[in-house]
């Protein structure tokens, strides 16, 4: 089956949205925690977090200016800080529920059964206590993509909270051990099983597992 560009553009909107959101393959699922200037907390699920670079440690995510994401965006711009928290396999239903359109004065932490956690050194935004991998970020840059009316938000990592048992000797985080969930599209959650981890590849040398 082949979709040409004109076919794609003529598809019914929900069909096209589902197709395009699953087309790029599996994604991460993360909860982004923020608060406004008055300390009202907010929590929202995002599936578009991506690694930009290790030095400085920068992470990006795609933000659509919908009503739900707007609270996250407003808080990030007002306060300048936010947290990214892993969604684990046992919390997928509650994480998905944060995508409901709660009014601004209601916190998704309370409504969806998550606990805000503030660390000693990063009091600017709430972490999700139940999450086993937590990242504290400072807003660094926003990039507007006009053709799709979306923003790429870039943040600098200020703090990482993680159980050291999840980190292998070379810094690799064992996401399967941490129970981190995989996401596809806007609403599907998966668990992952390792096939292999491969050694650095060199020309004319057989691929080997590490």
Strand partners, 128: 116
| Strands annotated E in 64-181 | 81-86, 116-117, 127-128, 133-145, 150-162
Distance CA 73, CA 197 (A): 36
Piece of the chain touching its own copies by CB under 8 A; list 35-43, 71-79, 169-177: 169-177
For the chain, the maximum distance between any two Cα atoms, rounded to a whole number of angstroms, is 60
Task: Give the residue from 113, 123, 121 showing the smallest Cα distance to 35.
Answer: 123
Binding residue (CB under 8 A) for its own copies from 44, 71, 72, 86: 86
Q: Is the preceding omega at residue 187 within 30 degrees of 0, hence cis?
A: no
Piece of the chain touching its own copies by CB under 8 A; list 33-41, 69-77, 163-171: 163-171
Place of tokens 């999840």: 166
Which structure tokens are listed for 206?
A: 């057989």
- Nearest approach in angstroms of CB 44 to its own copies is 11
Site string for its own copies, 22-51 (x = CB under 8 A): xxxxxxxxx-----------------xxxx
Strand partners, 24: none
Query: Judged by CB under 8 A, does residue 172 bind its own copies?
Result: yes
Binding residue (CB under 8 A) for its own copies from 119, 142, 177, 179: 119
Piece of the chain touching its own copies by CB under 8 A; list 36-44, 72-80, 189-197: 189-197
Query: Judged by CB under 8 A, does residue 67 bind its own copies?
Result: no
Site string for its own copies, 89-118 (x = CB under 8 A): x--xxx-xxxxxxxx--x----x-------
């Amino acid at each position: 089956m082949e979709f040409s560009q004109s076919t794609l553009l003529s598809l019914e909107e929900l069909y096209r949205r589902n197709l395009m959101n699953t087309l790029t393959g599996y994604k991460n699922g993360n909860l982004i925690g923020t608060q406004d200037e008055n300390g009202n907390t907010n929590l929202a699920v995002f599936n578009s977090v991506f690694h930009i670079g290790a030095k400085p440690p920068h992470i990006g995510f795609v933000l659509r200016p919908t009503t739900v994401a707007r609270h996250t965006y407003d808080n990030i711009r007002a306060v300048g800080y936010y947290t990214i928290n892993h969604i684990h396999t046992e919390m997928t239903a509650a994480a998905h529920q944060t995508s409901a359109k709660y009014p601004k004065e209601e916190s998704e932490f309370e409504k969806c059964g998550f606990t805000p956690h503030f660390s000693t050194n990063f009091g600017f935004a709430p972490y999700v206590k139940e999450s086993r991998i937590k990242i504290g970020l400072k807003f660094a840059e926003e990039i507007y993509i006009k053709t799709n009316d979306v923003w790429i938000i870039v943040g600098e990592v200020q703090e990482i909270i993680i159980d050291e048992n999840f980190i292998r000797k070379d810094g690799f985080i064992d996401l399967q051990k941490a129970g981190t969930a995989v996401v596809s599209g806007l609403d599907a959650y998966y668990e992952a099983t390792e096939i292999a981890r491969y050694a650095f590849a060199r020309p004319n040398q057989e691929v080997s597992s590490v």
